[in-house]
């Protein structure tokens, strides 16, 4: 006789609660998998794979010259009176992640601010000559750093459109002809953006056709005549 106080050796089975089903959309599990090792650059002409260090040759000429500021009067006046605004617009068009206000503020502080400080130097008579030399050297160094900073964006523009280094290195161009370089870059981007605009064709829907009472009567009479002809 079994002992009622002894522990049973059998395990009582319980119904396992189902886990909440995930909301899976149709086709969600059939997405392509991106493998970086298989993604290689290929030549657009022959389709052969290219090495990672390959860069297309920069042999394209600029659409306008460095002294062609008069070809676009709007950018010419903007670059002459407000070069910081023109520089901000150029940077925003080249790099979308950099807002034009940031580039405009940096240009206004270091370039326009340095020019204003250099122009105000003769007004201070009590400055020691050595201090004046240090200030002038600081302004020249700031100008060179601004030329390097703006030259980096010019290099980015040249890589994007495979442009030549004309008339010289981008940093030297901005160091010697900063305002002309800003206007040239603006004209270049403006020309390329206008080429990429796609003109969409406008297709008008067909006109709505309406049937008048006379047309309905003619259709009914023609059907009746056809039926009588078949019966006869």
Provide the pLDDT for residue 8.
62
Q: Note whether residue 107 is domain-resident.
A: yes
- Whether 92 has a pLDDT exceeding 80, the answer reads yes
Provide the pLDDT for residue 200.
45
The Cα 143–Cα 161 span in angstroms is 27
Work out the percent of the chain whose per-residue pLDDT is above 90: 5
Q: Note whether residue 228 is domain-resident.
A: no
Q: Note whether residue 113 is domain-resident.
A: yes
Q: Which burial class, exposed, middle or buried, applies to 3 when counting CB atoms under 10 A from its CB (0-12, 13-18, 19+)? A: exposed
Mean residue pLDDT across the chain: 75
Judged by DSSP in three states, 107 sits in helix
Provide the pLDDT for residue 201.
46
Q: pTM for the complete prediction?
A: 0.58
Q: Note whether residue 30 is domain-resident.
A: no
Provide the pLDDT for residue 164.
85
Provide the pLDDT for residue 38.
67
Q: Note whether residue 229 is domain-resident.
A: no
Helix locations, the chain, DSSP H:
73-81, 83-94, 100-107, 113-120, 129-161, 170-176, 178-195, 213-231
The angle subtended at Cα 149 by Cα 145 and Cα 152, nearest 5°, is 135
Q: Note whether residue 79 is domain-resident.
A: yes
Provide the pLDDT for residue 15.
57
155's CB contacts (< 8 A; 6+ apart) are 170
For residue 3, give both structure tokens.
Answer: 């002992």
Give helix 73-81 / helix 178-195 axis angle, nearest 10°: 140
Q: What is the pLDDT of residues 169-220, one digit of tens each?
A: 888 999 899 889 999 999 998 887 765 544 444 555 666 655 556 555 666 6
Q: Note whether residue 215 is domain-resident.
A: no
User: What value does the mean pLDDT take over residues 90-116?
Assistant: 85
Pairing, β 41-42 against β 49-50: antiparallel
Domain limits for position 126: 69-193
CB 68 within 8 A of CB 182: no
Q: Number of folded domains in the chain?
A: 1
Q: Is the peptide bond before 167 cis (omega within 30 degrees of 0)?
A: yes
Q: Note whether residue 64 is domain-resident.
A: no
Query: How many Cα atoms sit within 13 Å of 10 on the Cβ side?
Result: 3
Q: What is the pLDDT of residues 44-69, one digit of tens each?
A: 666 777 777 766 666 788 888 888 88
């Amino acid at each position: 006789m079994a002992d009622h106080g002894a522990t049973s050796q059998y395990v009582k089975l319980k119904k396992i609660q189902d886990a909440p089903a995930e909301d899976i959309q149709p086709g969600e599990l059939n997405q392509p998998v991106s493998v970086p090792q298989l993604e290689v650059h290929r030549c657009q002409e022959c389709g052969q794979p290219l090495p990672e260090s390959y860069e297309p040759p920069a042999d394209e000429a600029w659409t306008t010259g460095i002294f062609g500021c008069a070809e676009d009067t709007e950018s010419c006046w903007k670059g002459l009176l407000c070069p910081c605004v023109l520089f901000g617009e150029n940077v925003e068009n080249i790099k979308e992640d950099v807002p034009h206000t940031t580039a405009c503020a940096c240009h206004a502080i270091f370039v326009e601010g340095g020019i204003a400080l250099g122009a105000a130097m003769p007004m201070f008579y009590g400055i020691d000559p050595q201090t004046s030399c240090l200030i002038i050297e600081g302004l020249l160094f700031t100008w060179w750093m601004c030329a390097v900073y703006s030259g980096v964006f010019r290099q980015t523009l040249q890589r994007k459109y495979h442009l030549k280094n004309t008339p010289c290195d981008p940093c030297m161009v901005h160091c010697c002809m900063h305002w002309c370089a800003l206007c040239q870059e603006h004209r270049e981007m403006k020309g390329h953006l206008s080429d990429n605009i796609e003109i969409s064709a406008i297709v008008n829907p067909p006109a709505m056709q309406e049937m008048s009472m006379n047309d309905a009567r003619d259709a009914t009479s023609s059907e009746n005549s056809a039926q009588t002809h078949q019966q006869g």
